[in-house]
Structure 1
């Protein structure tokens, strides 16, 4: 009997020590998280990635980022899913407007992985930098580079050319670093796009000539080259567009755009070869406009 009492007392003493140790560990989590983004718990290491998992939305599995709201029971849901829900997806209780300031404070110290980590991105960052990074992340899915909004395809970079060859077979591809891009029937009414591919230096370039209807019937042409590749790859090249004929010459030189950026913003800001109908007619022959395109490696 004495022995049994002694063992029980020892066990109780041990549990008390363990409880004390747990409180100490929790205190150390708070300290080490703010300083290093890692925490030591009972001999194991909780990395920033481990902590990020506590912010996972139960609906879309994206991260719940500040401002963080919770239901009365403390369950979280991300700001994108919240407007679509009528009750808490975890406990089915009402969704309140209670701010979880403690989780927001922890979130400010956690390094969250890029949403394209499954595609190969290895960058982790504070939540305040997450949106800007993902907007330009090279692992983000690429959209179809053809102008206009008719094709909604998205995929990896290596899938872009197979998509173009299979789904946009009308696009002509010319080989060589110095070619002529011929746009036919430039007097066609309304907004029109002309597209051609140029293959050289082991890369593919898309040449786009876009005609837009402006105010008071004014029409403008925008010509630009984009690389079927990343921004970093695009920086290795330069292109020149040239209209010539009748003792006249109009030239534009620039770095090609990556298809990750697209051409919309460049056209909007006139960061390309821009000319109106009267200029086009000076260089056109029989309603067709030839543009000399030269690609150079930097």
Structure 2
């Protein structure tokens, strides 16, 4: 005979509220100039407004209050910046349900929390530039997709992913000189990405991937750009940079292929195959804890 089982479950706050807390933490720490999370050292003006070290070198007065800088650092901002990822992980981690059991119960298999479907990253604050050719659009994150649909619809790929975890696309590219070919990808549950490619006058190839988001969110993703043909392959893999990252920094993390290697990969039609892949880390299921008394 099975004894009566009495169970009390801890109240779980809405997921939307937890996401809001994480977004607020990011907003509080953002540099008011570049809108990225600053790294040590973090400086502050005489009234306490913090700024990242890179932007501090470019400004003489605080962009928030026009106050002077005296060389002081914001140690609390530095500490929060170091701990923020741990704080966000603890907030977004699926809560553990504790169960209090009276008397004897049947032996049961440990419950497994349901698989979490990855959601679209929350929209960040600040402006983001369009990286399609020489486009001068620079506006909020929420307006980027409409801009791409209206101004660059022939270069916009709106496709689906597998639960927001992986997206891949393959096509052929002509090996020509002095060309620039940019694409934008809008992927549900993942975000908006720019694929910036060019071949210079000597035939050297460059390919770069950028995301319409902050670098902190972009690091959740992994991008791989691969060129192949004639049983030869060249590839680059890493996280995409934010589209508002300065060009001299963003383009350091790119796929670079010499003209000689491009000619070796090109087929008789002078074409090479390009494969673009975006993946996102999958959150693992966590067993539900049971404490019997």
TM-score for the superposition, normalised by structure 1 = 0.48
Greater relative contact order structure (CA < 8 Å, 6+ sep)? 2
Where is the helix percentage greater, Structure 1 or Structure 2?
1
Larger radius of gyration: 1
